[in-house]
Structure 1
């Protein structure tokens, strides 16, 4: 058999692939992981008792705007990096924008608060456990993403693991907000960000082991 005939024979047995396979598969992985995380919150931590009233407050949506915007950016980067021909996502620096905007809100809070109130504003009531909870709750979502990646062929494994970890952490932080009553922008900027950063670090370290194909 000549080379051209062999190529045609091999190509003829390839099933067509949906142009939105990556997005659909990742969405399924995130959704499955998010359901598991939500069940974990409901069964162990519980939802804040004033959740209905809190959803009419600025601080609740401040937290969600921050975590969701980071999540959307990280998911977009993960979708891009899932393909074997992906270039380095040069626009990842845009993820700094939500952090910078929340830092401005936090600075405004500090300017309006007497100096002796800065420490309670920063630590809140749950600083010792917030970051750990966010990182732990990210695990089911990260597992869902790893499952989705079994269908793909990423080549930038550490960067892909980092963005998948950040996406998982941001989704987990969003859901954790249903439990967490902390209302300070400085608290969210510090401890939520640390939790998401830990999830991204975990993705960087362990991602290549599971993403390799």
Structure 2
């Protein structure tokens, strides 16, 4: 059989892929993983007791604005890397916007705060555990994304793993906001971001092994 005939035979009965199939698959994986992480926060760690009051203040929405913006940008990158034809990532620069905005808020905090209080504002009360909690909460979401990738066709496996880890870390940080009482922008910029970077690193390390197809 000639090569052209073989290709025509193999492709003759292939069902069409549904529109937005990648987005739906990733959404399911994200939702399942996020539900597990949220359950852990609510049942094991506990929702902060003043959350209803906190939701009327700027710091709570500052944290959510930062983590959700990163999560959306990372999800866009993950969706691109889930396809086999990805060469150039689009909209990657979007992730710089929330970082720069939060850094600006942190700079204004430092200007308004006496230097003697800078260290306490930066470290807060939970800097030693915050990044590790974000990393731990990212793991169920990362597993959900790995499940999604099993039906997709990534070719840049390390980049796809890093993007999945970044997405998982950003969504995990969003979930963690329900528990975390810290209010400083420089705390969030440093320790939340460190947890997200740890999740990204884990994804980059183990992604190529788990995403092979």
Q: How high is the TM-score relative to the length of structure 1? A: 0.97
Counterpart for residue 31 of structure 2:
31
**Which ranges of structure 1 fall in alignment gaps of 5 or more residues?**
none
Matches within 5 A, 1:3-152: 3-89=3-89, 91-152=91-152
Deviation readout 1:92-111 (Å, 9 max, x if unpaired) = 23312211110110010000
Offset at 1:52?
1.0
Distance in 1 between the 2:100 and 2:3 partners? 56
Distance in 1 between the 2:102 and 2:2 partners? 63
CA RMSD of aligned residues (A): 1.1
- Range 139-148 or range 85-94, more displaced: 85-94
**Which ranges of structure 2 fall in alignment gaps of 5 or more residues?**
none
Whether 1:207 and 2:212 are equivalent positions in the alignment is: no
Whether 1:165 and 2:165 are equivalent positions in the alignment is: yes
| SS of equivalent to 1:128 | coil
How many corresponding residue pairs?
Answer: 213
Contact 2:37 2:172 in 1 (8 A): yes
Distance in 1 between the 2:139 and 2:2 partners? 50
Offset at 1:3?
4.3
Distance in 1 between the 2:81 and 2:11 partners? 25
Contact 2:77 2:90 in 1 (8 A): no
Q: How high is the TM-score relative to the length of structure 2? A: 0.97
